[in-house]
């Protein structure tokens, strides 16, 4: 999208204006309650204000990235996508409510979502382009890590809002039976064991193709609160994304550390009063403590880097983005993803989810002076009493926001 100087000036002014406002975090309960009595007009009025705020907040941070990274072709492309989407949403800023406007708005959201489909691999390609052209120092690496956590969390939240609107009011959910089962992309009775098995089967299919075999699955569940299978209010696609990534990693470790008699992967699902825990245990040899922190770094991967032709055909493969983005999906509704490694034996990966939907609030990045300083200060030096090597704990303190409602 080529802008004239006047258009660029107007766009910058609008970004500055909307970035002054904080995003309004919603809980899963808010999403469900609104979806049960869905009003397209209310959703339209909320989104035409909220989406520009979320877009502007993260666009301000894009401009704080190191100059060398901003010049990379792939990063320029991503920046253009965001500018175009921001401009298209602003077209509805002062439009009167009408059926025609609602239809146009829904079509615009679908167009924006499709445009941003390849944002993750494209931004990853931009980081690779930087590494190929320039030496990346520790400060630049720190800034990129900090930014990508916030950038991808913002992307998850924007897609969540768009998906809820288009699924509730667009042409994408015409099947009445399925519409009854789901509220947008949220399943009020999400069968955790079912999602576990789906993720395992698809990961196993890939493992079979590559290694001609795959570890078996053992699943157990423990429900402290009630009888029957464990079900919670959650977004199945988010959980599937996390589980699929963890199963792929576990299977690869098991297959490459055993010649035959592959030990099974064990999964335990537990529901307590506050948390739901999903623990995936493998005997794939484990990971040394010296490497554990690196597994959540975007510029680290144990797999070969993909060729440029693979950007659209094999998303994320070899970029090292699987685990850090999976952790963001867990954190998005105030959960967590942790790895417990026993070097020489295996790894336990634990997904924590909120058991109560009213406590599962969005965690959103906010552009302010506190976030700005992370792009300008030197890398903190750790001592025995701090753990500055793990960026996640530092970043989460800057993401907390007051809870908002539609």
User: Within 10 A of 96 (CB to CB), how many other CB atoms are there?
Assistant: 6
Active site residue 359: no
What is d(CA 105, CA 323) in angstroms, rounded to the nearest whole number?
34
Active site residue 245: yes
Whether residue 148 contacts residue 298, with contact meaning beta carbons closer than 8 Å, is answered with yes
**Residue among 188, 190, 214, 186 at smallest CA distance from 202:** 214
Catalytic, out of 245, 266, 354, 362? 245
Catalytic, out of 57, 79, 163, 249? 249
What is d(CA 330, CA 280) in angstroms, rounded to the nearest whole number?
15
End-to-end CA distance of the chain: 32
Q: What are phi and psi of 234, to 5 degrees?
A: -160, 175
Catalytic, out of 60, 116, 248, 334? 248
Catalytic, out of 116, 238, 241, 354? 241
Whether residue 23 contacts residue 178, with contact meaning beta carbons closer than 8 Å, is answered with no
What is d(CA 275, CA 257) in angstroms, rounded to the nearest whole number?
33
What is d(CA 122, CA 81) in angstroms, rounded to the nearest whole number?
11
CA dihedral 171, 240, 272, 26 (to 10 degrees): -40
Active site residue 368: no
As annotated, the active-site residues are 241, 245, 248-249
């Amino acid at each position: 999208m080529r802008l004239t100087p006047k258009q660029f000036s107007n766009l910058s002014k609008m970004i500055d204006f909307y970035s002054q406002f904080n995003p309004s975090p919603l809980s899963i309960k808010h999403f469900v309650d609104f979806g049960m009595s869905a009003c397209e007009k209310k959703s339209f009025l909320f989104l035409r204000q909220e989406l520009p705020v979320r877009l502007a907040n993260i666009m301000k941070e894009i401009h704080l990235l190191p100059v060398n990274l901003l010049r990379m072709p792939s990063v320029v492309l991503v920046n253009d996508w965001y500018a175009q989407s921001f401009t298209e949403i602003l077209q509805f800023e002062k439009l009167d409510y009408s059926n025609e406007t609602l239809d146009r708005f829904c079509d615009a959201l679908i167009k924006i979502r499709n445009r941003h489909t390849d944002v993750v691999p494209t931004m990853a390609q931009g980081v690779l382009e930087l590494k190929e052209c320039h030496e990346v120092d520790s400060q630049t690496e720190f800034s990129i890590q900090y930014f990508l956590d916030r950038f991808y969390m913002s992307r998850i939240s924007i897609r969540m809002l768009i998906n809820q609107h288009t699924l509730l009011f667009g042409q994408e959910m015409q099947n009445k039976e399925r519409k009854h089962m789901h509220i947008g992309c949220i399943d009020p009775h999400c069968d955790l064991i079912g999602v576990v098995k789906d993720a395992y089967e698809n990961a196993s299919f890939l493992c079979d193709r590559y290694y001609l075999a795959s570890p078996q699955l053992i699943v157990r569940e423990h429900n402290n609160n009630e009888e029957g299978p464990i079900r919670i209010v959650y977004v199945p696609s988010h959980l599937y994304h996390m589980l699929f990534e963890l199963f792929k990693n576990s299977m690869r470790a098991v297959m490459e550390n055993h010649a035959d008699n592959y030990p099974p992967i064990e999964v335990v699902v537990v529901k307590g009063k506050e948390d739901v825990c999903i623990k995936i245990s493998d005997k794939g040899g484990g990971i040394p403590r010296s490497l554990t922190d690196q597994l959540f770094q975007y510029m680290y991967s144990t797999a070969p880097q993909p060729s440029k032709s693979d950007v659209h055909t094999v998303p994320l493969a070899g970029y090292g983005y699987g685990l850090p983005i999976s952790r963001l999906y867990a954190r998005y509704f105030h959960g967590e993803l942790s790895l417990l490694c026993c070097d020489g034996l295996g790894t336990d990966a634990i997904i924590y989810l909120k058991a109560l939907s009213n406590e599962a609030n969005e965690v959103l990045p906010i552009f302010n002076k506190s976030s700005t300083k992370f792009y300008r200060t030197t890398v903190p030096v750790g001592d025995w009493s701090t753990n500055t090597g793990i960026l996640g704990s530092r970043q989460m303190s800057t993401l907390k926001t007051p809870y908002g409602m539609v």
